[in-house]
Amino acid sequence: MSKPRPSAPPSAGGNAAPTDQPTFRSNPEVDAKIDAYIKENPKYWAYVQAMPRERLERTVVLNEVRELDRQQRIREGVLKQINRNPEMKRAYDLLVKDLPEDQKENVIAQIARQARRAVARSQGQQVQQNRGEAVTV
C-alpha cells in the first residue's frame, strides 16, 4: 500500500509555535468558481453555513479520505490490468528493472496512469478531428 500524501502544510500539523497562523493561498479563478456555485446553490450554501465547525472539519476530512480511496482503487485497477497481461507486465518490469524493489510497483502504476491519460487525450483529439472541430492543446 502506498503512503498517503500529506495534504496539510507542515505548520498545520501541530509542530509549529502556537502563535504561528497558517497562510492560505487565494486563487482568483477558484474563488470565482466557488462564488458562482454559491450563487447557483443558495440552499446548499445556507446548509454549509449552518453546520457546526466540528461537522465542517469532519466533512473536509471525509472528502480527503474519499479522494485517497478513489486514488487507491484506480491504482489497484491499473495494476490488476497490467498483471492480467503477461506481455505488458514484462514491458513494465523492464522499465523499472533498475529501481529499488520498494519503488517498482508505485512507479509502474504512475507510468501506466500517465500512459492511460495520454491515450485518452489522443483519442479525444482524434474524435474532435473526425468531427471537424478545432483541436487546441
Q: Read off the pLDDT of residues 47-78 as tens digits, 9 standing for 90 and up.
A: 999 999 999 999 999 999 999 999 999 999 98
| Mutual angle of helices 101-131 and 86-95, in 10-degree steps | 110
d(CA 46, CA 10): 32
Using one digit for the tens of pLDDT, what is the confidence trace for 91-104?
Answer: 999 999 999 999 99
> 82 φ, ψ to 5°?
-65, -45
Name 78's Cβ contacts closer than 8 Å, sequence gap at least 6: 109, 112, 113, 116
Q: What does the domain layout of the chain look like in residue ranges?
A: 27-131
- Looking at the predicted structure, is the pLDDT value of residue 7 above 80? no
Mean pLDDT for the stretch of residues 8-29: 70
Q: What is this structure's pTM?
A: 0.61
134, HSE (Cβ side, Cα atoms, 13 Å):
2
Q: Radius of gyration (Cα) for the chain, nearest Å?
A: 21
